[in-house]
Structures are given as C-alpha cells and as structure tokens.
Structure 1
Amino acid sequence: MKNLISLSAMCCALATSAFAQEKTLTISTYSFAQDAYKAALYDPFEAICDCNLVIETGNSVERMSKIEANAADPVIDMAVISSQDALALSRKDLLSPLDLAQLSNHSKLYPAAQDPIGGNMAVGYTFYASSIVYRTDLVEINSWADLLDDKLAGNVSLPNITGTQGPLTLMMLNKAAGNEGTDFTSVISDIGTHADDIVTFYSRSSELAQLMNQEEVIAAPVGRFAWSRFKSSPLPFAWAEPKEGQAGGMNVMIMTKGNGNEELAHMFMNYWLSTEVQTRVAEALIDSPANSEVVVSDEVADNLTYGADLINSLSILSPAGIIDNREAWVEQWNTEVIR
C-alpha cells in the first residue's frame, strides 16, 4: 500500500510538471491567408519554441469585442489588428505596453512602424498602399479627383465609409481638392452629389474584383494587398500613381493586458518581425514587410507595398484622426450619401 501511494504521488508530480511545461499562445488574427501563414510562420515558430499556437480568426468587431468582454481574465494573449483599432483598445486600457528589450528586431522596422499609436502599445508588422485600379483601355487616371469626374459616371465604385479603404479614399479626395486634415465634410457632400453615378459602395475587395471582372466597374480605390486579384485578370488593369500620391495603412501587433503569457508573446512577435520571417512572408506574397532589411526580387516587389521610397511617401491617416472623427463621418455619410 505504501509503495502504491508513493507511485501515485510520483505520477501526479510528473503530470503537474508536464502541464507546467506545456506552453500555449493564443493569437487573434484576420482570417486572410491562414494556410500560407501556417507554413511560413506558425509551424516554424512552434518547432523553435516547443509550444502550441492557438489561432483564432474573425472580423475586427468580433475580435475586439472578445478582448473587451474578457478583460478581467484574458483568453487572447496577443492580436494583429489595424492601427486605429489598436488605439481604440488602448484607450480602454485593454493593452499592455511592449517591452522593447525583448524585441531585438524592433530597430530594423521602418520608423512609422516602431511606435504607431504611442506609448509602445503596438508595433507595425505590415504596410499596405492604397490607390486606384483601372481599365487602361477605357480610361486614364491621373488624380484621385478623377473618381468623381463625369468620364467615370456610372462606371466607378467607391469603398464604404465603414471599411478600411473608406477613410483613406476620403483623405485622398480631400487632398485632391487642395485640403489637408481630417475635416472631410465637403468631400462627403461631393460624393453625395455624385451618389447616383456610383455603381456601388463596396465592402470587400472580393466583391469589387467580381464587379470589375464583369466589366460593370472600370475604376475603384483598392488596397495593394488585393492587387493580385486584378493583376491576374485577362482584362487590362493597372495600378494608378495619382499626382497626389498613394494612401497607406498599417496593421499592428498588440498584447492584451494581464494575460500572463507576456514572455512567449514577445518571443513570437520578435520572430515575426525578424528579417528571415518577414522575407519569407513577403516572398509568399502574404504581407508586405515592415522590416527595412527585407530584400525581394522585382517580381515579388511588384505585388507588395515595398521599399523605403514608397513607404516613406505614403499618406497615412493617423489612428487618432480616424477614431476621433469616424462617428461624424459615418453620420454625414448616412445622411448625404446613403439616401
């Protein structure tokens, strides 16, 4: 009996030890390209860290709501999200500042990605440009203002105000009108005036690609991450380089406050930001690199937002500018555009 008790105690101790050594990192991310991410990022990291990655996907609203609902006892350790959504979570005191001492690859990032929302509450891992995709055989695009020109009436699509591309398009139309800042009142009114000339206000790039391949739309603003949908089309699409330049955005990594898994979260972030991984992700055409040391071929670069010259030239709308004005933009949009 005594030996039986000792054996039982030993088994319990071993089980407890094994449980303590089991490391799991829960990551909230976009549903985009998850099979490709698994091969380029998740599987290699698991082999290095001897840990398990739990990947949860969903749209931004769902994922932000889950972080907020579980603030007292986080079920998400880290997340990748837009810079403006990261700032919204930070303002609710739901994020933990990053320890840069644990991010040896931080200094390799383009300056705009190093502290995009302030307080080291986030770090950028990818950029994306936004411009106008158009049919070269049917129209010429030289300015963002061309989107509301009579030559495109009945053949143009614009992004919905609530989507990622919406505020960026407003910013560039505002710039084309000779204005700066985040007062988009006159631009939204102008879009409202031309609302009957807009085929649709799209919500997803896949929806836009279908309309353009069906030749219902010949020009529309779109993010560079969706360019492959158009580049591979048999129709003659081109990526515009308007005189006002291109808009830009950034996705960032964040860490939830009090998750208890900070060391592993930092390890994974640092791995993702490394030159090796950012190069691998770029060459797989998954994401554009935020690491300035990444070098890819011209063929690969043509599908990405790549290189210091382009990244430094992007017009990036500040996360605070979006959050502080979004409600007013949407209210006016619903009144004057969606009638």
Structure 2
Amino acid sequence: MADMKKFLCAALVLGLSASLAACTSTSPDASSGGGDVLVVAGFGAEYETLFQEHIAKPFTKKTGIQVKYRASGSGAEMYAAIRAANGEPGFDLAVMTYLELDQGQRDKLLAPVTAKQVPNMAHVPNKLLDHTHGVGAIQDVQQVSLMYSRKAFPKPPTSWDVMWDPKYRNGTLVFNPKNILGVYGLLNLADMGGGGVTNMGPGFKRNEELAKHALATPNTSAEAVPFMAKETATAFPYFDGRAAIYAKTNNYDFTIPREGTYAHLGSLGIPVGAEHKDAAYKFIDYWLSNEVQERWARAYNVGPAVTGLTFPADFAAKHITTPARLDEVKIADAATVNKHRTEWQQQWQETVR
C-alpha cells in the first residue's frame, strides 16, 4: 500500500499540477524542529524575492511559523486553483488582487477577513475596505503611471494624449487586456473619451486608433522591458511599482498625467478550506502592521494600505502614500470588470490586429 501511495504521488508531480497540493504536506516541518506552517501562493520573479526577504523571513522570526511559498502565476490563476479545488487548493493564503476578492465572495470560496480576525484592518481606509467584500485584505496600492523616455521627453509629459502625438505614437505600447494593465489602459481611454467602465466604446475607439501606429501590443508587463533596454519605446502605461525599478536601470521615468489614473489593489485571501486559518490571519495582521507596511512599500515601490505612515518626499511624489492621494485615484468596480473582461478581450482582439 505504501509503494502504491508513493507511485501515485510521483505521477501527480510529473503530470497533474492542479493536484500537486494533495502530495504537499502543510503539517509542521520536521526539518525545522516543528511548529506551524503557512503555505502561501503568490507571484514569482522579483516579487517572490522581495516577499521572502521583507515579509516571510521576519514573520517566521517573530512568530515561529514557517512560511512555504509557491510561485503560482497571476491572481486570476491562483483564484482559478481555489475554484477548481472547491476552496481546498492545498495552500492557506493567496496573494491576488481585489478583482479575485470580488469573485471569491460571490462564489463563497474565501474565508471571512475582518477586524475581528485581523485587528490591523482597523487602520485600513474605508475606500480600500469597500473593495475587500469582507473576504480579504488589501496589502498594497499601485497606480497606472505614464512611463516615458527621458530621451524623447526632456520634461515629463503631462497628458495621456502624448501617446497619440505623431511624434511619439510609433513608440507607444498598447497592452492586451489579458493583462490587467491592458484593462486599466482601456478604462483610462474610455474616461478620456467621455465613457467609463459601463461605456467602453470610446476607449475601444481610441485604442484601435493608437494600435495602428503602436510599437507593440504586449501580453505582459515584462514584454515592455526589451523596448526600454533598446530605447525604442516612447510613452506607455505601466504600474508604478515596476516603473520605479526600471527607472533606475534604464533611461526612462514615470509620472501621473493630469487626467488622473486608476489604482490597482494587491490583496490577500484565505481559501475556505485552508488548513491553517489561524496562521493566515496572524500573517495578514503582521503584513498590515505599520512597520511592515512601510518596509514593503519601500521595497516593492508601492503605496501602503494603512494611513499615518511617513515616507521620503521623493518616494511620496511618485506613489500613493497619503489619504489625499488615495482620494484622487480611481478604483474600477471589480464586479463590472469581472463581468465584462472576457468580452473586452474578445473585442480588443477584433479591433487590434
């Protein structure tokens, strides 16, 4: 019987990633001498590195709870794993976005997350709490900035309209709405054309016009990096977190145009069938503490999810760090985005060829 169990687990490792969690222990780690274990699914690449250094390791040192991290793709992919497993995906906490929190509360597949379980939720502004739906927490705030070439723009551009300027449009990037950056790009264009999240026609019209001249139509934010390295891109939308990273290594900078922009909310959600909910609640509370919020914001180049923190003037000028700045930024209704996103992707494919 033991040999058969080993064979089945080996087969799962080789071929069935969705079932891998069943062969992955979430019980105390014998190699660490015991103690609780928290399995966290989140983003990969630099996010995983920063997470381990600034969140996971300090949390373990403080609580003794071991954090096992799984780089699992996008927020949508992580929620898909939760849904496919009917709330028992084999991990205890998922790093996602506020869009998945909306879907999770509708599907009843995410556990409650309120100030009762997570006391530091009391320090999160209502504008952010309104987008948690009682089933998660917002841990950071990004915004869609205008990334621009310092060579093309000796002074920062002040409007999204520069992307349509004949001098610059051949170097712009139009992101596919398969990536959430592409969704926000469409929303910005819709707003500029007199529409909005419930009237995307003006956005698609402007998007189609721009795509005829664009340098590329990337599917991911990472696909923009080679164009910055070659200095062929002129101006394009980009999240401020990654923009800050590449502004240090390339001849590019970023700004917020006068028309305003959209926020993107990082979130934490607990599957209803998570084995270690208590550890997950402690982890969320830790991440929302003032010390950790400030440390994470500086490390990941994002805005914090709690108020009352102080940042250097140059950092505050580029990111959402105050209640006043949070009030200025737009947050798209998650239910509307989730309802129409597939439709928008199809329409984008039809208009951008």
Query: Structures share a fold, TM > 0.5?
Result: yes
1:45 matches 2:51: no
1:23 matches 2:23: no
Contact 2:173-2:235 within 8 A present in 1 as well: yes
Please identify runs of 4+ aligned residues in structure 1 that moved more than 3 A.
16-19, 299-305
1:78 matches 2:77: no
Question: Which runs of 5 or more residues in structure 2 are unaligned?
Answer: 1-26
Structure 1 vs Structure 2 CA RMSD: 2.5
**Over residues 301-334 of structure 1, what are the superposed CA-to-partner deviations in whole Å (9 max), with x where a residue is unaligned?**
3554322222221111121121111122112111
Contact 1:37-1:286 within 8 A present in 2 as well: no
Deviation at 1:18, TM superposition (A): 10
Q: 2:83 aligns with which of 40, 51, 68?
A: 68
Amino acid at match of 2:131: P
Deviation at 1:268, TM superposition (A): 0.7
Contact 1:224-1:305 within 8 A present in 2 as well: no
Contact 1:209-1:229 within 8 A present in 2 as well: no
Aligned mates of 2:95, 2:28 — CA distance in 1: 32
Amino acid at match of 1:141: P
The equivalent residue for 2:9 is none
SS in structure 2 of the partner of residue 199 of structure 1: coil
Deviation at 1:103, TM superposition (A): 1.4
Aligned mates of 2:81, 2:250 — CA distance in 1: 42
**Over residues 124-181 of structure 1, what are the superposed CA-to-partner deviations in whole Å (9 max), with x where a residue is unaligned?**
1100011211124424633223323333231211211111211111111112123333
Deviation at 1:64, TM superposition (A): 2.4
Q: 1:288 to 1:194 in 2, by over 3 A?
A: closer
Q: 1:172 to 1:68 in 2, by over 3 A?
A: same
The equivalent residue for 2:18 is none
Amino acid at match of 2:184: L
1:143 matches 2:159: yes
The equivalent residue for 1:207 is 223
Q: 1:231 to 1:188 in 2, by over 3 A?
A: same
Identity %: 20
The equivalent residue for 1:258 is 273
The equivalent residue for 1:127 is 141
SS in structure 1 of the partner of residue 273 of structure 2: coil
Contact 1:79-1:254 within 8 A present in 2 as well: yes
Q: 1:275 to 1:331 in 2, by over 3 A?
A: same
Q: How many residues align structurally?
A: 321
The equivalent residue for 1:7 is none
Aligned mates of 1:73, 1:161 — CA distance in 2: 29
Amino acid at match of 2:248: S
Contact 2:42-2:72 within 8 A present in 1 as well: yes
The equivalent residue for 1:227 is 243
Aligned mates of 2:88, 2:225 — CA distance in 1: 41
Deviation at 1:221, TM superposition (A): 0.6
**Matched ranges for 1:143-222 at <5 A:** 143-222=159-238
Deviation at 1:288, TM superposition (A): 2.8
Amino acid at match of 2:266: N
Contact 1:107-1:114 within 8 A present in 2 as well: no
TM-score, normalised relative to structure 2: 0.83
Aligned mates of 2:217, 2:249 — CA distance in 1: 22
1:114 matches 2:129: yes
Amino acid at match of 1:315: K
Aligned mates of 2:56, 2:138 — CA distance in 1: 18
1:88 matches 2:103: yes
SS in structure 2 of the partner of residue 150 of structure 1: coil
TM-score, normalised relative to structure 1: 0.86
Deviation at 1:30, TM superposition (A): 1.1
Stretch moving more, 276-285 or 157-166: 276-285
Contact 2:42-2:94 within 8 A present in 1 as well: yes
SS in structure 2 of the partner of residue 166 of structure 1: helix
SS in structure 2 of the partner of residue 296 of structure 1: coil
Q: 1:295 to 1:104 in 2, by over 3 A?
A: same
Question: Which runs of 5 or more residues in structure 1 are unaligned?
Answer: 1-15
**Over residues 259-281 of structure 1, what are the superposed CA-to-partner deviations in whole Å (9 max), with x where a residue is unaligned?**
24221111110011000111122
Stretch moving more, 101-110 or 28-37: 28-37
Contact 1:285-1:300 within 8 A present in 2 as well: no
**Over residues 222-262 of structure 1, what are the superposed CA-to-partner deviations in whole Å (9 max), with x where a residue is unaligned?**
11011224322452x33233221122110111111132422
Q: 1:51 to 1:148 in 2, by over 3 A?
A: same
SS in structure 2 of the partner of residue 157 of structure 1: coil
Aligned mates of 2:256, 2:244 — CA distance in 1: 17
Q: 1:17 to 1:128 in 2, by over 3 A?
A: closer
The equivalent residue for 1:306 is 321
Q: Which has the higher contact order (CA 8 A, sep 6+)?
A: 1
Aligned mates of 1:308, 1:146 — CA distance in 2: 29
